[in-house]
Amino acid sequence: MKKAYVFPGQGSQFPGMGKELYEKYDKAKEMFEKANEILGFRISDIMFNGTEEELKQTKVTQPAIFLHSVILSELMGDDFKPDMVAGHSLGEFSALVAAGAMNFEDGLKLVSKRAMAMQKACELQESTMAAIIGMDQHSIIDICQNITKDGETVVPANFNNPQQIVISGTKKGIERSVEMMQAMGAKRAIVLNVSGAFHSPLMEPARVELQEAINETEIKEPICPVYQNATAEPATHPMDIKMNLISQLTSPVLWTQSVERMIADGAEEFIEVGPGNVLQGLVKKIHRKIKTSGIQTL
């Protein structure tokens, strides 16, 4: 049975995450302490004892989810035998480290740099995102294009499942899009509680900043294909992986397309590694009969 291991993105964090791993396993403790040293603050303390608000800070959230996922895959040892991997947005970095394309330290440094660069880009312009549920993809794309022609920026950012697409853009543009989509029959159109327009052209300053860091990072051939967000295609060549990783910040997350492609390539079971169960839910909405499970602790 071909197994696809998938890694969650921002939004899956919860207070107390990873604490049990730290207390039970020397290897986990060692990796958490290494992370505290690299980041220059004790992220482990915030993860284990912090409030939801503290965990929500981008500079904490992204490394925290990455750490939880990567430490779990490391602790699985020989049981971690993926035929393919993918990660949702930030989760792509966890997937690359778990599949051996990048080492733990480099992955964490990139994730930290990504979080800071995204935070800076968010501060340059008032922007946000909205989840659109129960509306066909072509209508959503049309509305986004029309509002962008009128001088705002709005783009589809996450193709999460056939019934849920997240759009991203300027605050005014998103508010107008939500009104229009509700009027045109979307089941729900909800502005999200996020501080910026992730996976949109408004992230260009962050992409430029991250590009340099990615280009300087050693990327090796992974142990299995990595299905990347920007293309929904399997990648194994280090140069392809780098290119797709660079374009990820300003490109939509093609999650539905990635899952469909993995199934077409033989995936029979999807295993989510890391906090929460968001991806299991999304996979089920894409293919009702596929087997899913999750690993949050050992």
Q: Does residue 96 sit within a domain?
A: yes
**Active site annotation includes 88:** no
Predicted local confidence at residue 247, as pLDDT = 96
Q: Which CATH number do you get for residue 6? A: 3.40.366.10
Does residue 174 sit in the same domain as residue 72? no
Q: Does residue 196 sit within a domain?
A: no
Last residue of a domain, one of 191, 218, 246: 191
Does residue 26 sit in the same domain as residue 93? yes
Q: Which CATH number do you get for residue 132? A: 3.30.70.250
Predicted local confidence at residue 11, as pLDDT = 86
Q: Which of 89, 112, 168, 251 is catalytic?
A: 89
Domain containing 274: what range?
A: 2-122+201-295
Tokens (6 digits) for 17: 């995450």
Does residue 115 sit in the same domain as residue 135? no
pTM > 0.85: yes
Last residue of a domain, one of 147, 173, 191: 191
**Active site annotation includes 199:** yes
Does residue 48 sit in the same domain as residue 116? yes
In total, how many domains does the chain have?
Answer: 2
Does residue 103 sit in the same domain as residue 244? yes
- Of 111, 296, 247, nearest to 239 by C-alpha is 247
Predicted local confidence at residue 260, as pLDDT = 98
Predicted local confidence at residue 59, as pLDDT = 85
- Of 132, 265, 266, 117, nearest to 196 by C-alpha is 117
Does residue 241 sit in the same domain as residue 116? yes
Distance CA 209, CA 118 (A): 9
One pLDDT digit (tens) per residue for the chain, 298 residues = 899 999 999 888 999 999 999 999 999 999 999 999 999 999 999 999 999 999 988 889 999 999 999 999 999 999 999 999 999 999 999 999 999 999 999 999 999 999 999 999 999 999 999 999 999 999 999 999 999 999 999 999 999 999 999 999 999 999 999 999 999 999 999 999 888 999 999 999 999 999 999 999 999 999 999 999 999 999 999 999 999 999 999 999 999 999 999 999 999 999 999 999 999 999 999 999 999 999 988 7
Rounded to the nearest 5 percent, the helix, strand and coil shares of the chain are 50, 20, 30
Predicted local confidence at residue 111, as pLDDT = 97
Q: Which of 68, 199, 200, 258 is catalytic?
A: 199
Predicted local confidence at residue 185, as pLDDT = 93
Q: Does residue 206 sit within a domain?
A: yes
| Complete DSSP assignment for 43-105 | HHHHHHH--HHHHHSHHHHHHHHHHHHHHHHHHTGGG---SEEEESTTHHHHHHHHTTSS-HH
Does residue 33 sit in the same domain as residue 107? yes
Does residue 12 sit in the same domain as residue 140? no
Does residue 28 sit in the same domain as residue 91? yes
The 3-state DSSP class for residue 179 equals helix
